[in-house]
Amino acid sequence: MPVIVRQYDSVADTLAASQRLGRDGESSRRDDDGWAGGSWDNAVRMASEGWSDARPQVDAVLEPVRHQLAELLSYQLQPVFDLVGGGGIDMDRYLLGEIECMYEDMPQEIMKEGKVFTLLINGVYDSGVRPETILARGAAIAALVEAMSMMGCELSIYVECSVSPLSYGRRGKLPEGPNTWSLLTKVHAAGDLLDINNVMFAMGHPSWLRRICFGIMEGEKAQIRSTYGFGTGGYGRPSSTTLCNDVLPMKPSFVMQMGGSQYGQDISDPVGWVLSQLELQGIYTPSE
């Protein structure tokens, strides 16, 4: 299957391309838009600074997961320093005149040494999928990513948006030339410090597709825009499967299929879904 792939090494690179290519398109001109999850300026801010507003939703999923994983986590005693309380005194701090020289040994969670995983998230949705559905799915994905990191796993994370042509030739045949367009973004590299707020936006906010990715689509050449309908009545037909497996340096360990309640994995029970994905990856085994 012929494929057009637009590949970027970071969220920042994808954002810069969208700002350059889509500056005159509908994705940036529309006013504040609930369907897209907010305005263009808000999408740029979240792509640049991170998306922290979803933290309560992610924590609501993550805390029950953390409870299930508690017996698998490693702990060690670490000194916690205080001004007046504590069971001991750090003489070095005391002699240096530091006020907080009293300490108490408290158990601190430490990460285990885990495997390296490659995650590929399909970031396309039908136009009828509600923003609330996308946000809920994104919170579950973010909780899964954070749980894997908590268990000591190193993660390479990619988000892919793949579409097929919107316009068909006579007799329903695909037009000549490439018949799949895909945008692939690396949102996190294994070995880098994971800040979940900085990766959540691309993984789970409707503005990633409906603002940032649409902007790149609008900057394509006229023939490609016409074939896929970019900016002229649609943005292609969402592809139900990811297509860039062969482009990635490692075969994905986890693939999240197309979003929406009628596609891919069922996340109506996000806590159960996260635990089931951890089990499938060999990270977690439920107790009897």
As a whole number, mean pLDDT of residues 196-224 equals 92
**Both tokens assigned to 142:** 């973010």
Instruction: Decide: 231 and 168 in contact? Cβ < 8 Å.
Output: no
Q: Which of residues 73 and 162 earns the better pLDDT score? A: 162
Q: Give the span between the Cα atoms of 191 and 208, in whole angstroms.
A: 24
Q: What is the pLDDT of residue 65?
A: 92
Q: What is the pLDDT of residue 268?
A: 84
- Number of Cα atoms under 13 Å in the Cβ half of residue 42: 16
As a whole number, mean pLDDT of residues 78-104 equals 63
Band (144; pLDDT cuts 50, 70, 90): very high
Residue-range domain boundaries for the chain: 4-67+112-280
As a whole number, mean pLDDT of residues 168-184 equals 65
Quickly tell me which residue has 């929406």 as its tokens: 260
Q: Give the span between the Cα atoms of 283 and 170, in whole angstroms.
A: 51
Q: Give the span between the Cα atoms of 146 and 36, in whole angstroms.
A: 25
Lowest mean pLDDT among 181-185, 216-220, 238-242, 267-271: 238-242
Band (80; pLDDT cuts 50, 70, 90): low
Does pLDDT of 258 surpass 70? no
Instruction: Count the Cβ atoms, other than its own, within 10 Å of residue 217.
Output: 27
Does pLDDT of 76 surpass 50? no
Q: What is the pLDDT of residue 1?
A: 47
Q: Give the span between the Cα atoms of 150 and 115, in whole angstroms.
A: 12
Does pLDDT of 240 surpass 90? no
Residue 23 — φ and ψ, nearest 5°? -65, -25
Residue 143 — φ and ψ, nearest 5°? -65, -40
Lowest mean pLDDT among 37-51, 52-66, 260-274: 260-274
Q: What is the pLDDT of residue 169?
A: 45
Q: What is the pLDDT of residue 172?
A: 47
